[in-house]
Amino acid sequence: MSGIDKGRIEKAVREIIEALGEDATREGLIETPARVARFYEEVFEGLHSEPGDVVDAFFGEEHYQEIVMVREIPFYSMCEHHFVPFHGQAHVAYMPSGRVTGLSKLARLVEGFARRPQMQERLTAQVANCLTERLDPLGVLVVVEAEHLCMSMRGVKKAGARTVTSAVRGVMETNPATRAEAMSLLFGTR
């Protein structure tokens, strides 16, 4: 069960169509409320799950204490202020203190938090905080780069402008050499 009331979404979308002065019963729009409801069910599926559960699938205790990084994880989310998409890439790094998780789990973690009404700043912090809580690593670095369609399509209308946010925890924050190494891995070899 998704926890999303598609019937209410359909009714609300029909109301929006009519409030715009359109005919909700015309051929091109008659199925739109149902399509939007299915779309919302998919893009907001993160509201009804605990994204952090995916990183609990440990691959055991390891003595690896160097940087593990997955770069360029594509994601799509919805701006909670305008309900317009923003999309981009997340870069996630951590330094294990014994526990390691699957690399795909890092991508799934980003996806889980992105699939809810969101702010980029919160998304970045949620991924970093979750990794810190679930893995108890030596350090975490999360960098998110995204284009916000609320800036591209409306208001300032600056298509292609990218917003960059970061969250740094543990030795990635307190040790300048470790932070520099992580940033070099992230930006130095593109």
Active site residues: 79-82, 120, 148, 150
Q: Is 113 exposed, middle or buried (0-12, 13-18, 19+ CB in 10 A)?
A: buried
In angstroms, what CA-CA distances link 128 with 18, 125, 184? 42, 5, 19
